[in-house]
């Protein structure tokens, strides 16, 4: 029953926001986000006894990891939006913004819960069109440009994803005949009996197609623009959750294809895409001058890391990947939320113009430093634990050269991230500059609360993840078939 | 080597698929936005005829329903929506693109040839239909990408994406003809949503840039 509520709540509240006064819409949005998160957490216990099914919905341990991610950022962005959306803005704009935020959160919760690869494609396409509209919601010239490029490139990628869906369907006709439902259970049960030629082709197309939305190089070019120009709560949801939900689609193809054609081919493809993404992101991070663009490239880096983690093919690495998805959502959400506060305070995203952040923003300054350290996998944050597990898996199962390349590239990425952070946070503003005249204050407590909660979640995931969460991840790895 | 004549079903299906591909080449050549959209409508109609034909010869009434929905959406609704936007914008011609027509045709021929080659090498086996139909579908997808890349106006780029979906539809008729109608309808509904969003963003683009051209979109570089 909670599955049904979960896949309806955000959508209904989103539609209701169009009809309510802005104040009521804000309250409804926060309530919907928090209730969705509560329902997602309650799914953890429910899926320990096996997958839940309800009509065309299905939840197993793997999908619940992604639902948790989506629901967490939906709730955080809903709270953050109270402080972010200017209350003196036209009521129509406020309603449209909250409608879009709810529908976007709802679409990302639904995607991992639909049963079958065809419906998964439909759900992910819905996340694309909704988020493209939200990228353009501020109606600036740059936002319109970013939204158009995003819609065109992501839709073209998903066109390839649709082709992958058709081909994997064809792969299953050797087992189920001409007409069947393409449900996950069917495809997993078919395993090695799928047409291996078709499964292999479908996998490559899926990595390329869905990989466009994941932000994997070389099909990542929409990502920095869209993340930079979107309103900050949407940037956080794009980076922390949308990329992960698209990665979920890739994981499902990995799960099915490795049963059919063996793990070697699958892992090689993922390692190639992972290394290429890490390489491009790491060196791009060194030259960024825009705070949000810096964080966008960091997302490409982390998506590359996830690909490598799966490509290593070790259970500990896959557990690390799933933990990484949860921790990255919290850390990247936090970093974008901090960037939004900084933009609000300084009126710019230009790294060269932002100085003395620790002094001017008593909460956000230290929280941004903590978020960047978390993204750089410093202890005691969750990403330290997850990257440690991924690297341990790589050393156990993969080439030392690949692991060495990974370590070098994430170190380069760290240099790019920390250089920008130290210059904006620790270097004081020069007297006479606009930054020097800013008062020491936070724009809104509503914008700080979700960052504090996200930071606590990161520390908990790093020091002692709840047993239920680790059990969920372990079960997901077992169901995934990694041995 | 024994040469076997194609069956009537194979011959008709291959001819229709190649026709869809030829219309894609026509879209690449079209200089007027209205012609571009009308060619897309024609292409969608021909692709739907393939569904009708296969539905009749394979006794699959679901394909006839799908063809009906597809004609209503892709031959009528989508072209009307896009033509309305073109009328409102007051722009008649497509963006000049980064390649001259002859160069574009050569590139398209090369990628289409690669599509046929890739299908031949993929090892995919489709009972009852020759690889020509699937090869044409992949070639349509590849040429649609060329259209989206070389044209620098929002209408041609959007139409390129819509025609890419036509290529996937042709492929679907060949390799996944038995796919449940509900899933096919979900794909079509999703296309409708995408069309609406493309329409909204084309309008936003026109309002911000006062043109349908994408040549000015150079502030953001990935």
With vertex at residue A457, the alpha carbon angle to CA A32 and CA A412, rounded to the nearest 5 degrees, is 115
- Rg, Å, chain A Cα set: 21
Contacts of A104 in chain B (CB under 8 A): none
Q: Classify residue B69: in a domain, yes or no.
A: yes
B164:A159 CB<8 A: yes
- Domain containing A282 equals 274-483
Q: Give the span between the Cα atoms of B162 and B167, in whole angstroms.
A: 9
Q: Band the pLDDT of A432: cuts 50, 70, 90.
A: confident
Could you tell me which residues come within 8 angstroms of residue B163 by beta carbon, excluding any fewer than 6 positions away? B24, B27, B40, B43, B140, B144, B147
Determine whether the interchain pair B194/A220 forms a contact, defined as Cβ–Cβ distance below 8 Å.
Answer: no
Of A11-20, A65-74, A108-117, B171-180, which gets the smallest average pLDDT? B171-180
A97 pLDDT higher than 80: yes
Question: Given CB atoms, is A159 within the 8 Å cutoff of chain B?
Answer: yes
- Residues A296/A239, Cβ–Cβ less than 8 Å: yes
Report the alpha-carbon angle B207-B211-B217, nearest 5: 90
Bridge-based pairing of strands A52-54 and A57-59 is: antiparallel
**pLDDT band at A482, cuts 50/70/90?**
low
Residue at A393 is within a domain: yes
Structure tokens, A344 = 């609000």
Question: Which residue bears the tokens 């509520």?
Answer: A5
Note the pLDDT of residue A236.
97
User: Is the per-residue pLDDT at B103 higher than 90?
Assistant: no
Q: What is the pLDDT of residue B6?
A: 61
Tell me whether residue B18 is in a domain: yes
- Please list every residue in chain A whose beta carbon sits closer than 8 Å to the beta carbon of residue B125: 195, 197
- A324-336 b/e (C-beta count within 10 Å ≥ 16 → b): bbbbbbbbbbbbb
> Touching check for B164 and chain A: CB below 8 Å?
yes
Q: How many CB atoms lie within 10 A of CB A436?
A: 14
In Å, the largest CA–CA distance within chain A is 75
Question: Do the domain assignments include residue A166?
Answer: no
**Considering its fold, how many domains does chain A have in total?**
1
Please count the structural domains in chain B. 1
Percent of chain A exceeding pLDDT 70 equals 100
Probe site for chain A from B208, B218, B219 (most A CB atoms < 10 A): B208
A370 is a domain residue: yes
User: B194 and A181: CB-CB below 8 Å?
Assistant: no
Tokens of B208: 């911000």
Question: Residues A31-51: what's their mean pLDDT?
Answer: 95
CB atoms within 10 A of CB A23: 12
Domain that holds residue B15: 9-90+100-209
Give the closest of A121, A148, A182 to B154, CB-based: A148
State the pLDDT confidence band at B39, using cuts at 50, 70 and 90: very high
User: Are B193 and A152 within 8 A, CB to CB?
Assistant: no
Q: Are A332 and A242 in contact (CB under 8 A)?
A: no
Residue of higher predicted confidence among A475 and B200: A475
pLDDT tier at B131 (50, 70, 90 boundaries)?
confident
Distances (CA, A) of A481 to A59, A188, A374: 17, 10, 30
Q: Which two tokens stand for residue A354?
A: 């932002």
Q: How many CB pairs under 8 A join A and B?
A: 137
Tokens of B73: 């959406």
B183 Cβ under 8 Å from any chain A Cβ: yes
Mean pLDDT of B106-113: 94
Q: What is the pLDDT of residues A134-179, one digit of tens each?
A: 999 988 888 888 998 999 999 999 999 999 999 999 999 989 988 8
Specify if A143 maps to a domain.
Answer: no
In B123-162, the residues whose Cβ lies within 8 Å of chain A are 123-126, 141, 144-145, 148, 154, 157-158, 161
Mutate which: A170, A186, A218, vs B, most B CBs within 10 A: A170
Six-digit token string for A249: 């689609």
In a domain, B4, yes or no: no
The whole-angstrom distance between A171's CA and the closest CA on chain B is 9
- Sign of the dihedral through C-alpha A32, A34, A36, A42: negative
Classify residue B219: in a domain, yes or no.
no
pLDDT digits (tens, 9 = 90+) for A315-341: 999 999 999 999 999 999 999 999 999
Q: Could you tell me which chain B residue has the CA closest to the CA of A293? A: B222
Residue A142 near residue A292, CB atoms below 8 Å: no
Q: How many other C-beta atoms are found inside a 10 Å radius of the C-beta of residue A468?
A: 12
Residue B162 near residue B42 (C-beta atoms within 8 A): no
Q: What is the pLDDT of residue A384?
A: 97
* A122 in contact with B, Cβ within 8 Å: yes
Q: In this complex, is the C-beta atom of A155 within 8 Å of any C-beta atom belonging to chain B?
A: yes
Q: Tell me, what's the pLDDT at B96?
A: 65
Q: What is the mean pLDDT of residues A58-74?
A: 97
Contacts (Cβ under 8 Å, ≥6 apart) of A66: A111, A112, A244, A245, A248, A325
HEC readout, chain B: CCCCCCCHHHHHHHHHHHHHHHHHHHHHHCCEHHHHHHHHHHHHHHHHHHHHHHHHHCCCHHHHHHHHHHHHHHHHHHHHHHHHHHHHHCCCECCCCCCCHHHHHHHHHHHHHHHHHHHHHHCCCCCCCCHHHHHHHHHHHHHHHHHHHHCCEHHHHHHHHHHHHHHHHHHHHHHCCCCCHHHHHHHHHHHHHHHHHHHHHHHHHHHHHCCCECCCCCCCCC
Residues in A 393-432 with any Cβ partner in B closer than 8 A: none
Q: What angle do CA B27, B31, B33 make, to 5 degrees?
A: 75
- Please list, in sequence order, all residues whose beta carbon lies within 8 angstroms of the beta carbon of residue A477, skipping any fewer than 6 positions away: A315, A318, A319, A322
Q: Which residues of A touch B122 (CB under 8 A)?
A: 197, 201
Domain-located, residue B160:
yes
ipTM: 0.91
A349 at interface of B, judged by CB pairs closer than 8 A:
no
Distance between CA atoms of residues B147 and A114, nearest Å: 33
Contact by Cβ (8 Å): A47, A60 = yes
State residue B5's pLDDT score. 59
Q: What is the pLDDT of residues A248-263, one digit of tens each?
A: 999 999 999 999 998 9
Confidence of residue B173 (pLDDT cuts 50, 70, 90): confident
* B40 lies within 8 A of chain A by CB: no
Q: Which of A318, A301, A300, A332 is nearest to A390 (CA)?
A: A318
Query: Is the Cβ pair A139, B141 closer than 8 Å?
Result: no
- The residues in A 206-225 lying below 8 A from B, measured between CB atoms, are 220-225
Give B178's pLDDT tier (boundaries 50, 70, 90): confident
Q: Are B176 and A181 in contact (CB under 8 A)?
A: no
* Contact yes or no for B81/B199 (Cβ under 8 A): yes
**pLDDT tens-place string over residues A280-321:** 999 999 999 999 999 999 999 999 999 999 999 999 999 999
Q: Tell me if A220 and B222 make a contact (CB, 8 A cut-off).
A: yes
Contact A418, A372 (CB under 8 A): yes
Does residue A270 register a pLDDT over 90?
A: yes
Least confident range of B24-33, B93-102, B145-154: B93-102
- The answer to whether A170 contacts B175, with C-beta atoms less than 8 Å apart, is yes
| Residue A140 contacts B, CB cutoff 8 Å | yes
The predicted structure's pLDDT at residue B90: 76
More confident residue, A75 or B28: A75
pLDDT band (50, 70, 90) for residue B95: low
Chain A CB contacts of B172 below 8 Å: 166
Mean pLDDT of chain A: 94
Is the pLDDT score of B2 beyond 70?
Answer: no
Cα→Cα distances B59→B45, B52, B62, B120, Å: 20, 10, 9, 28
Residue A41 in contact with partner chain B when CB distance is under 8 A: no
Q: Which residues pair with A54 in a beta bridge?
A: A57
N-term to C-term CA, chain B: 53
What distance in Å separates the CA atoms of residue B73 and residue B188, rounded to the nearest whole number?
8
CA–CA distance, A180 with B113 (Å, rounded to integer): 33
Q: Decide: pTM greater than 0.80.
A: yes
- B214 assigned to some structural domain: no
């Amino acid at each position: 029953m909670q599955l049904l509520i979960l896949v309806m709540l955000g959508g209904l509240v989103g539609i209701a926001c169009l009809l309510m006064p802005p104040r009521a819409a804000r309250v409804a949005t926060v309530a919907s986000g928090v209730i969705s998160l509560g329902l997602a957490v309650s799914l953890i216990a429910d899926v320990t006894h096996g997958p839940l099914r309800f009509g065309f919905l299905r939840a197993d341990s793997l999908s619940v990891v992604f639902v948790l991610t989506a629901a967490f950022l939906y709730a955080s962005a809903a709270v953050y939006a109270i402080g972010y959306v200017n209350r003196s803005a036209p009521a129509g704009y406020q309603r449209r913004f909250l409608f879009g935020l709810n529908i976007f959160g709802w679409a990302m919760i639904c995607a991992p819960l639909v049963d079958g690869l065809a419906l998964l494609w439909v759900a992910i396409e819905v996340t694309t069109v909704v988020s493209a509209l939200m990228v353009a919601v501020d109606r600036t010239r740059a936002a319109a440009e970013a939204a158009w490029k995003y819609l065109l490139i992501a839709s073209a990628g998903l066109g390839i994803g649709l082709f992958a869906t058709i081909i994997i369907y064809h792969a299953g006709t050797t087992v189920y005949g001409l007409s069947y439902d393409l449900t996950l259970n069917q495809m997993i049960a078919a395993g090695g009996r799928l047409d291996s030629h078709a499964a292999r082709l479908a996998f490559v197309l899926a990595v390329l197609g869905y990989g466009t939305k994941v932000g994997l190089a070389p099909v990542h070019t929409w990502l920095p623009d869209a993340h930079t120009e979107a309103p900050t709560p949407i940037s956080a949801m794009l980076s922390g959750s949308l990329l992960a939900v698209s990665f979920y689609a890739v994981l499902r193809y990995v799960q099915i294809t490795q049963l059919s054609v063996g793990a070697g081919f699958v892992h090689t493809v993922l390692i190639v895409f992972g290394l290429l993404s890490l390489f491009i992101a790491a060196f791009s991070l060194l030259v960024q001058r825009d705070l949000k663009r810096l964080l966008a490239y960091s997302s490409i880096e982390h998506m590359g890391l996830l690909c490598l983690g799966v490509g290593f093919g070790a259970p500990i690495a896959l557990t690390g990947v799933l933990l990484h998805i949860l921790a990255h959502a919290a850390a990247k959400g936090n970093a974008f939320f901090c960037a939004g506060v900084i933009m609000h305070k300084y009126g710019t995203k230009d790294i060269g113009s932002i100085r003395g952040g620790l002094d001017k923003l008593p909460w956000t300054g230290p929280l941004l430093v903590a978020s960047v350290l978390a993204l750089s996998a410093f202890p005691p944050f969750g990403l330290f634990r997850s990257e440690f597990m991924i690297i341990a898996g790589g050393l156990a199962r993969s080439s030392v050269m690949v692991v060495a390349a990974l370590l070098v590239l994430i170190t380069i990425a760290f240099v790019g991230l920390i250089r920008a952070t130290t210059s904006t946070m620790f270097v004081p503003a020069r007297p006479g500059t606009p930054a020097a005249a800013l008062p020491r204050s936070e724009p809104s407590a509503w914008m700080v609360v979700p960052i504090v909660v996200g930071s606590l979640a990161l520390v908990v995931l790093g020091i002692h993840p709840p047993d239920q969460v680790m059990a969920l991840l372990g079960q997901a790895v077992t169901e995934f078939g990694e041995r | 080597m024994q040469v076997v004549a194609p069956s009537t079903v194979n011959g008709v299906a291959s001819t229709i698929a190649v026709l869809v591909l030829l219309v894609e080449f026509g879209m690449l050549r079209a200089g007027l936005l209205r012609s571009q959209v009308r060619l897309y409508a024609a292409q969608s109609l021909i692709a739907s005829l393939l569904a009708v034909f296969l539905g009749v010869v394979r006794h699959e009434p679901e394909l006839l329903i799908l063809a009906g929905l597809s004609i209503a959406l892709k031959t009528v609704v989508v072209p009307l929506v896009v033509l309305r936007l073109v009328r409102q914008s007051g722009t008649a011609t497509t963006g000049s693109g980064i390649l001259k027509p002859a160069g574009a045709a050569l590139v398209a021929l090369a990628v289409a040839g690669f599509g046929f080659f890739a299908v031949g090498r993929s090892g995919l086996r489709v009972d009852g239909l020759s690889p020509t139909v699937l090869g044409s579908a992949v070639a349509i997808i590849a040429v649609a990408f060329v259209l989206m890349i070389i044209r620098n106006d929002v209408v041609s780029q959007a139409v390129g994406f819509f025609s890419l979906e036509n290529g996937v539809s042709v492929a679907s008729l060949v390799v996944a003809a038995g796919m449940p109608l509900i899933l096919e309808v979900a794909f079509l509904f999703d296309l409708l949503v995408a069309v609406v969003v493309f329409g909204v963003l084309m309008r936003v683009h026109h309002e911000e840039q006062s043109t349908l051209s994408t040549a000015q979109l150079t502030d953001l570089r990935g």
